[in-house]
Structure 1
Amino acid sequence: MADVERESMEYDVVIVGAGPAGLSAAIRLKQLHPEREVVVLEKGSEVGAHILSGAVLDPCGLDALIPDWKERGAPVTTEVTEDRFLVLGEAGQLKLPNWPMPPLLHNHGNYIVSMGNVCRWLAEQAEELGVEIFPGFACSELIYGENGEVKGVIAGEFGIEKDGTKGPNYEPGMELHGKYVFLSEGVRGSLSKQVIARYGLDANSEPQKYGLGMKEIWEVKPENHKLGQVTHTMGWPLGGNAGGGSFMYHAENNQVFIGFVVHLNYENPHLFPYMEFQRFKHHPEVAAVLEGGKRVAYGARAITEGGYQSIPKVTFPGGALLGCSAGLVNVPRIKGNHNAMLSGKAAAEAAHEALEAGRGSDELFGYEQELRTGPVGKDLKAVRNVKPLWSKYGIIASLLGGAADMWAHTLTGFNIFGTLKHGKNDAQSTAPASRFAPIDYPKPDGKLSFDRLTNVSFSATNHAEEQPSHLKLKDPSLPISVNLPKYAEPAQRYCPAGVYEVIRDEDGSNPRFQINAQNCVHCKTCDIKDPSENIVWAVPQGGEGPNYPNM
Structure 2
Amino acid sequence: MEFDVVIVGAGPAGLSTACRLMQQANEAGQELMVCVVEKGSEVGAHILSGAVVEPRALNELFPNWKDLGAPLKTEVTEDQIYLLKDDQKATKIPNGLVPKTMHNDGNYIASVGNLSRWLAEQAEQLGVEIFPGFPASHIIYGDAGQVAGIGTGDMGLDEEGNQKDTYMPGMDLLAKYTIFTEGCRGHLGKELIAKFELDADADAQHYGVGIKELWDIDPAKHQPGLVLHGAGWPLTEGGASGGFFLYHAEDNQVTVGLITDLNYDNPHLSPFDEFQRMKHHPLVAEYLEDGKRVSYGARAITKGGYNALPKMSMPGALLLGCDAGTLNFAKIKGTHTAMKSGMVAAETLFQALSNGDEGGNDLTSYGDNFKNSWLCEELHRSRNFGPALHKYGTIIGGALNFIDQNIFSLPFTIRDNHADYAQMKPASECNMISYPKPDGVLSFDKPSSVFLSNTNHEESQPCHLKLTDNSIPLGQNLQKFNEPAQRYCPAGVYEVLEDENGEKQFQINSQNCVHCKTCDIKDPAQNITWVTPEGGGGPNYPNM
Q: TM-score, normalised by structure 1?
A: 0.96
Contact 1:459 1:546 in 2 (8 A): yes
Instruction: Give the AA of the match of 1:521.
Output: V
2-structure distance, mates of 1:102, 1:300? 27
Instruction: State whether residues 382 and 415 of structure 1, in contact with CA within 8 Å, keep that contact through their aligned partners in structure 2.
Output: no
Choose 105-114 or 91-100, whichever is displaced more. 91-100
Query: Residue by residue, what CA displacement relative to the aligned partner does 1:264-314 show, whole Å, maximum 9, x if unpaired?
Result: 000000001100000000000111000000000000000011010101000
Task: Determine whether 1:465 maps to 2:454.
Answer: no
Counterpart in the other structure of 1:500: 494
Secondary structure, aligned partner of 2:172: strand
Cα pair 1:143 1:151 within 8 Å, conserved: yes
How far did 1:239 drift? 1.2
Match of 1:26 among 7, 10, 18: 18
Query: Is 1:483 matched up with 2:477?
Result: yes
- CA deviations on 1:77-99 (whole Å, 9 max, x unpaired) are 10000111010122111111112
Counterparts of 1:495 and 1:372 in 2: how far apart (Å)? Answer: 36
Structure 1 position 334 matched with structure 2 position 332: yes
In the TM superposition, what are the counterparts of 1:117-132 in structure 2 within 5 Å?
117-132=114-129
The alignment status of 1:287 with 2:295, answered yes or no, reads no
* CA deviation profile, 1:84-127 (whole Å, cap 9, x unmatched): 10101221111111123343321000000000100000000001
> For residue 507 of structure 2, what is the amino acid of its counterpart?
Q
Shift of 1:171: 1.0
Given candidates 10, 14, 39, the residue that maps to 2:6 is: 14
Q: CA deviation at 1:376?
A: 1.3
Aligned equivalent of 2:311: 313
Q: 1:198 aligns with which of 169, 184, 195?
A: 195
Offset of 1:371 from its aligned partner?
2.1
Which position in structure 2 is the counterpart of 1:4? none
**Matches of 1:228 and 1:108, distance apart in 2:** 10
1:222 matched to 2:213? The reply is no
1:53 and 1:427 map into 2 onto residues whose CA distance is 23
Partner of 1:395: 394
Percent sequence identity over matched residues?
54
1:526-537 paired onto structure 2 within 5 Å: 526-537=519-530
Find the counterpart in structure 1 of residue 352 from structure 2: 354
In structure 2, what is the equivalent of residue 139 of structure 1? 136
User: What is the CA deviation profile of residues 407-452 of structure 1, one whole-angstrom value per residue up to 9, with x for unaligned ones?
Assistant: 35xx4xx423x22221221110111111112101111000000001
Distance in structure 1 (CA, Å) of the matches to 2:157 and 2:197:
31
1:407 maps onto 2:406 in alignment: yes
Match among 154, 159, 164 for residue 157 of structure 1: 154
Residue 278 of structure 1 pairs with residue 280 of structure 2: no
CA distance in 2, matches of 1:115, 1:367: 26
Deviation of 1:156 after TM superposition, in Å, equals 4.6
1:248 deviation in Å? 0.3
Code of the residue aligned with 1:56 in structure 2: it is: V
User: Is 1:383 paired with 2:375?
Assistant: no
Tell me the equivalent position of 1:368: 367
- How far did 1:398 drift? 1.6
Q: Find the counterpart in structure 2 of residue 60 from structure 1.
A: 56
Residues 202, 308 of structure 2: 8 Å contact kept = yes
Give the partner amino acid of 2:92: K
Shift of 1:332: 2.1
Q: Note the alpha carbon deviations across 1:22-46, whole angstroms, 9 max, x for none.
A: 0000000100003211000000000
Q: Does 1:81 align with 2:81?
A: no
Amino acid at match of 1:423: N
Is 1:42 matched with 2:38?
yes
- Equivalent in the alignment of 1:5: none
Native 8 Å contact 2:99 2:401 kept in 1: no
Q: Is 1:98–2:90 an aligned residue pair?
A: no
Structure 2 residue aligned with 1:3: none
* Counterpart-to-counterpart distance in 1, 2:369 and 2:227: 32
Task: Tell me the residue number matched to 1:436.
Answer: 430
Aligned to 1:513: 506
Helix, strand or coil at the partner of 1:545: coil
Alpha-carbon distance in structure 1 between the residues aligned to 2:99 and 2:293 = 34
Deviation at 1:167, TM superposition (A): 2.3
2:468 corresponds to 1:474: yes
Aligned residues: 537
Q: Secondary structure at the match of 2:515?
A: coil
**C-alpha contact (below 8 Å) 1:136/1:156 kept by paired residues:** no
Q: Which amino acid aligns with 2:304?
A: G
Task: Tell me how far apart the structure 2 counterparts of residues 230 and 482 of structure 1 sit (CA, whole Å).
Answer: 43
Equivalent-residue separation in structure 2 for 1:421 and 1:110 (angstroms)? 30
Gaps of 5+ in 1: 1-8
Q: Secondary structure at the match of 2:337?
A: helix
Q: CA contact under 8 A between 1:20 and 1:119: conserved in structure 2?
A: yes
CA RMSD of aligned residues (A): 1.1
Q: How far does the alpha carbon of each residue in 1:314-341 deviate from its partner, in whole angstroms, 9 at most, with x for none?
A: 0010010110001011112110000000
